[in-house]
Amino acid sequence: MPPSPRIRIGVAGALGQMGRAVINVVDARDDCEIAAVFDRPESAGQRLGERVLAASDAAAALSDVIIDFSAPEASVALAIACAARRGAALVIGSTGLSDEQATAIDEAALHIPVVRSGNFSLGVNLLLGLVEQAARTLKASDWDVEVFEAHHRRKVDAPSGTALMLGEAAARGRRISLAGASERGRDGQTGPRAPGAIGFSVMRAGGIVGEHSVVLAAEDEILTLSHSARNRSLFARGAVEAAIWAQGRAPGLYDVMDVLGFARGGADD
């Protein structure tokens, strides 16, 4: 029986740290291969090791799935282009998307499969479920929620996409809107903490890969749920698994929970 053909993966943002990590993960596997690498338009023709950076449209034509850890504007443009040609599936890990940019990607997913997530780590996605359950169980009148995140000095958006996912998980557990409960900045005479608020604290320093903690604090006890990323390869491995899963799927917007096959509980479960 002939072996199954390898899934052809394109890598957007190939010059970035995550793009390079994805390339390394794909190169080490037997079930997929790098079809094309690309970055900003002016980088086409530049060498990346033994590979030559392609233009985005040429890369899309060569790929079954494109993994994209670039920037919000580039991710939106790529999603629109792939949807227009009914072409490659997309795995998008870009963070800092505005509501309008997220909506544009959602619309692209009407025509192609898109796996979009602020974090492709298995551990983080398990953490999301634990945070939602804890927030649902512990009364908001007695327990304050604070999300802490730390990343390297080069990260340009804050709070991180993962921190916002954790905040959303806490809000779902409490059956409230994060937009109405979020506290993202404290300075000066802020007054007492608002009841039911979900706070965010951010650190940017050195080469920190990713630290996330959710603190649930009552008057006489504190519960901390946390995750530490030690190497970017864990995110790259998750993104490659998502790409293999997405190839051949029906159009739609998916996330890592879909990729992992996790059952999703209802609001009252």
β-pairing, 51-52 with 32-38? Answer: unpaired
Instruction: Look up tokens 């690309």; give the residue.
Output: 38
Amino acid letter, 156: V
Residues 6+ apart with CB under 8 A from 246: 65, 89, 90, 91, 113, 114, 115, 254, 259
DSSP character for 249?
Answer: P
Pairwise CA distance, residues 237 & 247, whole Å: 16
Q: How far apart are CA 224 and CA 246, in angstroms?
A: 34
The set of catalytic residues is 151, 155
Name the residue among 143, 142, 120, 118 with its Cα closest to residue 131.
143
Q: Do residues 257 and 76 lie in contact, with contact meaning Cβ atoms separated by under 8 Å?
A: no
99's CB contacts (< 8 A; 6+ apart) are none
